[in-house]
Structure 1
Amino acid sequence: MPARPSSRALPGALLLVLCAACSGGADAQDPPAGGHGATAGAAGVGDTLFPKLGNGGYDVTGYRLTLDYTPDSRHLKGTARITARATRALSSFHLDLAGLRVRKATVNDRPARTARGGTELTLTPAAALPRGRTFTATVVYDGAPKTLTDPDGSKEGWIETDDGAVGLGEPTGSMTWFPGNNHPSDKATYDIAVTVPKGLTAVSNGELKRQETNGGRTTFQWHTGEPMAGYLATVAIGRFDVQTTTTGDGIPQYVAVDPTETDGPGHLPDQVTDVIDWETRTFGPYPFSSTGLIVDHLPDLGYALETQTKPYFDGAPDEALIVHELAHQWFGDSVTPRAWKDMWLNEGFATYAEWLWEEDHDGRTAQEIFDDFYDGTDDESDGIWDFPPAAPPTARRVSDPPVYGRGAMVLHKLRRTVGDKTFFTILRTWLKDHRHANADTRRFIALCERKSGKDLGHLFEVWLYGDGKPKKP
């Protein structure tokens, strides 16, 4: 992890178990349409780093989560209604869920059989699901959600705070508080309603559609209309000072700050506006219907996370960290990697956004920062040569320094090779072509070569895929 962690750190110890066994992966060939030949959906999508994450046989289009949480008892009650389309004829299918008790489940409003095995919840519907059929699965569950502990001691999943809790999901933690297809390749819309004791606030992704208090408890209903990967979903529960404003382009902005971190939101809304406006000028139109921040008081967490539309910070952030996490709204949240091995498309781009911000705000030039990384004099340069940024060797290293710092160096080398005009055309085209979708490194390289008219094979072979430290550029 970089000296100043910019985003999610190492995966949880649970992932070492998840990655120990290889999955059969996505279904190689769909059976005929209809229920004939229906088989069980795969437990995992065959991700090379996290083979048991996600599930085969269906594509989720929307989640409707109804949650009720009491911090004093740490008890969560939830109902997840999932709308999906069968991509093959299914006799049963899997959802990812860690812990919690499943009280009942239905598919298309008919009782479904359930079975548990590790982090897999298997639902068997009363009748097979034909390929191409849209269906709904509803799971009613409760319990004390898990916190996953990483090998370095960092946390993810459902984490208690001084006055509530927060759900953080990169790369696996979302399955500790709702069942789903927990892989970035399956993005969906989200409606999340959270009921908490009166006096607390529940902040989530997207826009607040309703806030209502009854019988000493308050419900906050949030809507995310643009597709979102499950690891980017969040719920932060606690006491927050909230300020609602708009950006320079009129985008609604919701900033929630734990009062122990600052005297209210203060200057943060203005910082968000400044950064969003600058990143819009640099990268193209902001990809979502709203923006904001969540600043909590969780000093032992040790990282920030680019939760969609409202990045989460464990304490009052500095300017560079705000730039980084908001840049993820373009790189990672709107354009999401198809597989976890392409994590550099998130972190290298967000790190390079920090370099560009510093260059544009009377700091070091991007070339000077590149040189400091190469020479090892930048505080965040430790460990950047450990492995190629596009080839994390294991799941536990998917967010290590090469993915951040050396990933940014790849982009700077590209910029110097193709020139500023072509470079920024590449970035804007990348974001436009894959807006709200998934993409991978192969597609990025192809776009770079198409837009530049150059053979860039050597550049990417050395800086993106090469082992060790390249010769002095």
Structure 2
Amino acid sequence: MKELLSVPRPARWALTAVLLAAMTTACSGSTSHSTESSVRDAKPGAVGVGDALFPALGNGGYDASHYALSLDYVPETNHLQGTATITARATHNLSRFNLDLAGLKVLTATVNGTDARFTRTQNELTLTPTKAIRNGEVFKAVIRYNGTPKMIEDSDGGVEGWIETDDGSTALGEPTGSMTWFPGNHHPSDKATYDITVSVPRDEDGDPYDVVSNGELLKEEDTGRRVTRKWHSDEPMASYLVNVTVGYFEIHKGWTSDDLPVYVAVDPDETEDAEGVQDLVPEITDWAGGRFGPYPFSSVGAVVDHLPDLRYALGTQTKPYFGEAPDDTLLVHEIAHQWFGNSVTPRQWNDMWLNEGFATYAEWLWQEDHGGRSAQRVFDSFYDGTHPESEGIWDFPPTDPPSADKVSDSPVYGRGAMTLHKVREAAGDRIFFDIIRTWTKQHRHDNVDTEDFIALCEAKAGKDLTQLFDTWLFSERKPADQRTEIAR
């Protein structure tokens, strides 16, 4: 999802598996009451979901369905006070369970309205309810917390998490930064709906801040001392796609040709360079809908902030985030992520090519459809190494990043897109675009893996595509020839 600005891909990831283990916090507890289980065979939820690249990320034993986040934020001090109400369903008899949370101080925790014992170890918050939770039971956990949320810095200078800007802050979560500002099951395999309410005092001059988040704005309140905005996301969302941005913005509202509401927020310092973004967003959304199938969410938009040192853009759900004014190609990439990555989400992080390969290929299609180079010519420039973003694309197979900090390197983008072009070549345009529209329809708001995509391609094309995928997706070497023999 992260798309580099002004420097070659790969996008900058901030938290490797090493960092996941390094950010430790003090242990704390709330009560001393008994936690004996009344449910036979209850056991703890797993710490981590077993992701090959991020083994400590996410948690087992439950499936989160909704997050209600109520935040009180003071930009001048960068202090955050929050209440997270998490609705979830137990997937086995559950004696205790974990949430991912990096930093911040937990004040209280309850499960189903009763105080729960809690402990902190590294990035894990463990809640032990007074009564074990039965398999299939829907429960609510409420966590109150406060502190200064962390900005996480990468070894190459990239940042994520809670990032201060020149007039406020933004929260960027890919791949793990969301855990710096709210507790949750922070793995893309556990998507949920969201209500996010943010209250911010007026600034020192008495001017109100704007608060922008995912989904639709349900409530605006200004008491004269504080402003409050409530945003609602009715479609499920992976936590790394959640964004809250506080600052001063010019707000542009409109509609797509299909009467989809458009909400674009532009920092005044980017107004001149971002001129036309509010028109491009609906234009690109309409174009993408024709190529990829119906838009999968209830609204679309963008946030154009003034954070030029960020060096990447992020396809946050419904409103991609840009640290500076984007061009049309970058807008295409991040809006394409609404289909590929946000609605259809990888089950594991090593399948990120299903996000980035598709979004990169969307750029090629946009050029092809708007008087630019054909997708074939772009493919050729990647193959022969003349494309400025082709450096390093043969370093490893797109489905097998060697480590967490390589999961968004150039093979995931460039070779991912090249693989899609080879499928198009083998299947023909009619079947290829039928594959894409079927993919986004069958797996709308779902989690997927590479095997799911290969199976669909072979079913639609009526061909064994093993050699194609072995050559372009799974091989560790650059093919000696562009031609691929396809079994009939």
Per the shorter chain, which TM-score range? over 0.9
**Percent of pairs with identical residues:** 60
Match of 1:102? Answer: 106
Partner of 1:468: 477
Cα displacement (A) at 1:11: 3.0
Q: Is the 8 A contact 1:244 1:252 kept in 2?
A: yes
Q: How does 1:303-318 map to 2 (within 5 A)?
A: 303-318=312-327
- Cα distance change, pair 318–175 in 1 and its aligned pair in 2 (3 A): same
Asked if residue 121 in structure 1 is aligned to residue 134 in structure 2, the reply is no
Counterpart position of 2:84: 80
One of 169, 189, 200 as aligned partner of 1:185: 189
* 1:49-74 Cα deviation digits (max 9, x unpaired): 00100000000000000001111111
Partner of 2:40: 36
Per-residue Cα deviation, 1:342-395 (whole angstroms, up to 9, x for no partner)? 000000000000000000111100000000011111111111111011111111
Q: Is the 8 A contact 1:45 1:54 kept in 2?
A: yes
Q: 1:7 offset after TM fit, Å?
A: 8.5
Letter in 2 for 1:70: V
Partners of 1:384 and 1:322 lie apart in 2 by: 23
Instruction: Give the 3-state SS of the residue equivalent to 1:184 in structure 2.
Output: coil
Q: How does 1:247-262 map to 2 (within 5 A)?
A: 247-262=256-271
CA contact (8 A) 2:10 2:409 kept: no
Deviations 1:305-356 (A, max 9, x none): 0000000000000110000000000000000000000000000000000000
For the aligned residue pairs, the C-alpha RMSD in angstroms reads 1.5
C-alpha distance 106-343 of structure 1, shift in aligned 2 (>3 A): same
1:264 deviates by 9.4
Flag structure 1 segments of 5+ consecutive residues without an equivalent: 21-33
**CA 218–452 in structure 1, closer or farther in 2 if over 3 Å, else same:** same
Identify the residue that residue 212 of structure 1 maps to in structure 2. Answer: 221
Aligned to 2:62: 58
Mapped pair 1:112 → 2:116: yes
Distance 1:151 1:84 in 2: 35
Conserved 8 A contact 1:35-1:131:
no
SS in 2 for 1:451: helix
Report deviation, 1:140. 0.2
CA contact (8 A) 1:2 1:380 kept: no
Matches within 5 A, 1:14-413: 15-18=17-20, 35-198=39-202, 199-263=208-272, 266-413=275-422
Distance apart, 1:269 and its partner CA: 1.6
Distance in 1 of aligned mates of 2:21 and 2:398: 20
Secondary structure at the counterpart of residue 464 of structure 1: helix
Shift of the 14–440 alpha-carbon distance from structure 1 to 2, 3 Å rule, reads closer
TM-score by length of 1: 0.95
Q: Distance in 1 between matches of 2:19 and 2:273?
A: 42
Q: Tell me if structure 1 keeps the 8 A contact 2:9–2:410.
A: no
* Alpha-carbon distance change, 265 to 250 in structure 1, aligned in 2, over 3 angstroms: farther
Cα displacement (A) at 1:12: 2.4
TM-superposed deviation, 1:273:
1.0
- 1:458 pairs, out of 467, 470, 488, with 467
- Tell me the SS of whatever aligns to 1:90: coil
* One-letter code aligned to 1:15: A
2-side partners of 1:430 and 1:385: how far apart? 27
Q: Structure 1 345/305 Cα, relative in aligned 2: closer, same or farther at 3 Å?
A: same
Partner Cα separation in structure 1 for residue 10 and residue 114 of structure 2: 39
Q: Contact between 1:7 and 1:305, CA under 8 Å: does it hold in 2?
A: no
Distance 1:53 1:367 in 2: 39
Counterparts of 2:122 and 2:209 in 1: how far apart (Å)?
Answer: 33
The superposition leaves residues 30-87 of structure 1 with CA deviations (integer Å, 9 ceiling, x where unpaired) of: xxxx921111111100000001000000000000000011111110000000000000
Going from structure 1 to structure 2, the CA distance change for 1:183 and 1:251 (only over 3 Å counts) comes to same
CA–CA separation in structure 1 for the residues paired with 2:91 and 2:16: 29
Measure how far apart 1:15 and its partner are. 3.1
For residues 293 and 330 of structure 1, do their structure 2 counterparts lie closer, same or farther at Cα, with a shift above 3 Å needed? same
- CA distance in 1: counterparts of 2:7 and 2:330, whole angstroms: 9
String of CA shifts for 1:246-284, please: whole Å, max 9, x gaps: 111100010000000114964212101110000001111
Residues 191, 221 of structure 1: 8 Å contact kept: yes
Q: Is the 8 A contact 2:16 2:405 kept in 1?
A: no
1:5, distance to aligned residue in structure 2 (A): 6.0
Return the alpha-carbon distance in structure 2 between the equivalents of residues 417 and 267 of structure 1.
38
Corresponding residue for residue 25 of structure 1: none
Give the SS at the match of 1:63.
strand
Distance 2:364 2:95 in 1: 51
Q: 1:23: which partner in 2? A: none
Q: Distance in 2 between matches of 1:163 and 1:8?
A: 28
Q: 1:6 to 1:433 in 2, by over 3 A?
A: farther
User: May I ask how many residue pairs the two structures share in their alignment?
Assistant: 460
TM-score by length of structure 2 reads 0.92
